[in-house]
């Protein structure tokens, strides 16, 4: 939760599966690809508790699941967390 400016115990969250993200590039360029293994957790926090950083992102939006899925501006890896057919094969769910 450091990315969100919070320090919460892992026990405060609900495990949300093991996910994989693949990218054709990396944070510093295009000379090699990136593969992330993501251990997903769901936490409930109040918006005013978040200290959102701007090192990697310069804009944040809060969306309902329906609005998120309807938006062309949401990355496929983020969208997958909200799609039942994507969650079906995720270990731990």
Query: pLDDT tens, 6-62?
Result: 888 999 999 999 999 999 999 888 899 999 999 999 999 888 888 877 777 778 888
Question: 29 vs 70, which has greater pLDDT?
Answer: 70
Q: Does pLDDT of 3 surpass 80?
A: no
Query: Where do the domains of the chain lie?
Result: 2-87
Burial class (CB in 10 A: 0-12, 13-18, 19+), 79: middle
Range of lowest pLDDT (17-21, 60-64, 84-88, 89-93): 89-93
Q: Please state the CATH superfamily assignment of the domain spanning residues 2-87 in this structure.
A: Nucleoside Triphosphate Pyrophosphohydrolase (3.90.79.10)
Size of the chain in residues? 93
Band of pLDDT at residue 85, cut at 50, 70 and 90: confident
pLDDT score, position 1: 65
């Amino acid at each position: 939760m450091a990315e969100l400016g919070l320090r919460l115990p892992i026990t405060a969250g609900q495990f949300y599966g093991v996910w994989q993200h693949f990218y054709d590039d990396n944070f510093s360029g295009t000379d090699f690809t990136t593969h992330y293994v993501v251990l997903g957790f769901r936490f409930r926090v109040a918006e005013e508790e978040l200290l959102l950083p701007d090192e990697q992102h310069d804009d944040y939006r809060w969306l309902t699941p329906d609005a998120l899925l309807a938006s062309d501006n949401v990355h496929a890896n983020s969208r997958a967390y909200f799609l039942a057919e994507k969650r079906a094969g995720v270990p731990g769910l």
